[in-house]
Amino acid sequence: MHEVVTIGESLVALIPDSHTKLRYVNTFSKVVAGAESNVAVGLAKLGHKASWLSKVGADELGHYVIRELRAEGVDTSAVIMDSDHPTGLMIKEFTPSLQSSVYYYRKGSAASTLSVDEIDWDFLRKAKIIHISGITPALSPSCKEVVEVVARFAKKEGIPFSFDPNIRKKLWSMEEAIETLTPLFSLADLVLLGDEEAQILLGTDTPEEVVSILHQKGVSTVALKLGEKGAYVSDGKSAHYIAAHQVTVVDTIGAGDAFNAGFLAGILEGKPIEVCGRMGAIMGALAVGSYGDTEGLPDRSAFDAVMHNTQEVQR
């Protein structure tokens, strides 16, 4: 049994040990990255049953990804190992001012070859929520088809489909992203998006307008992530501004996925929408305090300590 199934590519990420151009870096650490597996890790750390469905290469990096995700408590039983394609790789770069960049080496990766006939529908049917980000359809035509077919399957089966557009400009053109991602809103029950993405896909980043447009498209629950300004969340009955939780920022990559994990944990626990928003904001803030995407995420007791000591979340 699983509560949330996420589908998307995980990569091995190399993190430089110094804040300079990659040409001058000699030492890297390796961690696992990937928007959907980040959400699964965040949920598992909070005590929820999260599964990650994907493909990795039948190579050392593929074994590493599976081993790490399992160690964090994520179910990887549906992951396919592919002998013909490699595990994807990305390298982060930090400028002296801590601005992060990402370089991808993922074209033709195992995950990008995932196709509809490889999906285990019985496995998906057991989910309480299916979560996918807009990175997955950007990977290849077959991945795009997987996302569209899974979203329609979720609707037919009455399984809430949670969608984060996660626009990655390095993976496709803006036109392709808009054309592919916008129709997915109408198939989603939960939409978790950033304000820049709202501007690109919906033509506005005004929180009340974003929420109203998405509710009109049939989305029941919306979380608009506003970065250092917090979030705006709505379930159609009430809407709330959620203040950001104060932290020292080291690397902002992964914050959105961490927010999603906290928010979805709140939904699974039947919490009021405002509390789901606070859970998301706390998880998002804790993710930016470390260089990897998920290393800063708390386990349940550490999370509860922050949640309960924080009467008013301030920045």
Q: Catalytic amino acids?
A: 257
Q: Which two tokens stand for residue 224?
A: 């608009």
Work out whether 72 is an interface residue with ligand KDG (CB under 6 A).
no
270: tokens are 């039947």
> Which of 253, 265, 276, 307 touches ligand KDG by CB under 6 A?
253
Amino acid occupying residue 266 = G
Q: Applying CB under 6 A, what is the total number of residues that bind ligand KDG? A: 11
C-alpha 74/C-alpha 257 separation (Å) is: 15
Q: Is 91 in the site for ligand KDG (CB under 6 A)?
A: no
Q: Does 261 bind ligand KDG (CB under 6 A)?
A: no
End-to-end Cα distance, the chain: 39
Compute the least distance from the CB of residue 6 to ligand KDG, in Å. Answer: 11
Using CB under 6 A as the binding rule, whether residue 284 contacts ligand KDG is answered as: no
Distance CA 206, CA 238 (A): 17
Interior angle at CA 136, CA 164 and CA 197, nearest 5:
35
254 contributes a contact to ligand KDG by CB under 6 A: yes
If you search the block for the tokens 């990937």, which residue do you land on?
Answer: 34
User: Does the footprint of ligand KDG cover residue 211 (CB under 6 A)?
Assistant: no
* CA-closest candidate to residue 195, choices 181, 185, 206, 186: 206
Find the angle CA(132)-CA(137)-CA(139) to the nearest 5 degrees.
Answer: 115
The DSSP secondary structure of 113-146, one letter per residue, reads G--GGG--HHHHHT-SEEEEETHHHHS-HHHHHH
Please report how close the Cβ of residue 42 comes to ligand KDG at its closest, in angstroms: 11
Select the residue whose beta carbon is closest to ligand KDG and give its number: 33
Q: Of 226 and 273, which CB lies nearer to ligand KDG in the complex structure?
A: 226
Q: What is the DSSP string of 198-265?
A: HHHHHS---HHHHHHHHHHTT-SEEEEE-GGG-EEEE-SS-EEEEPPPP---S--TTHHHHHHHHHHH
CB of 209 to ligand KDG, least distance (A): 25
For position 235 contacting ligand KDG by CB under 6 A, the verdict is no
35: contact with ligand KDG by CB under 6 A: yes
Q: Which stretch binds ligand KDG (CB under 6 A): 15-23, 33-41, 60-68, 111-119?
A: 33-41
* Residue 38 near ligand KDG by CB under 6 A: yes
257 binds ligand KDG (CB under 6 A): yes
Among 14, 15, 31, 33, which residue interacts with ligand KDG (rule: CB under 6 A)? 33
Closer to ligand KDG at the Cβ: 166 or 234? Answer: 166
8 Å CB contact between 40 and 52: yes
In the structure encoding, which two tokens stand for residue 284, read together?
A: 């998002």
Torsional sign, CA 35, 174, 251, 287: negative
Least distance (Å) between residue 274 CB and ligand KDG: 25
Q: Does 293 bind ligand KDG (CB under 6 A)?
A: yes
Write down the least CB distance from residue 140 to ligand KDG, Å. 13
Interactions with ligand KDG, residue window 124-183 (CB under 6 A): 135, 168
User: Least separation, in Å, of the C-beta of 296 and ligand KDG?
Assistant: 13
Query: What would you report as the CA-atom Rg of the chain, rounded to the nearest whole angstrom?
Result: 18
**Measured distance CA(194)–CA(178) in Å, rounded:** 14
Binding range to ligand KDG, per CB under 6 A, among 30-38, 76-84, 175-183, 267-275: 30-38
Residues in touch with ligand KDG (CB under 6 A): 33-35, 38, 135, 168, 253-254, 256-257, 293
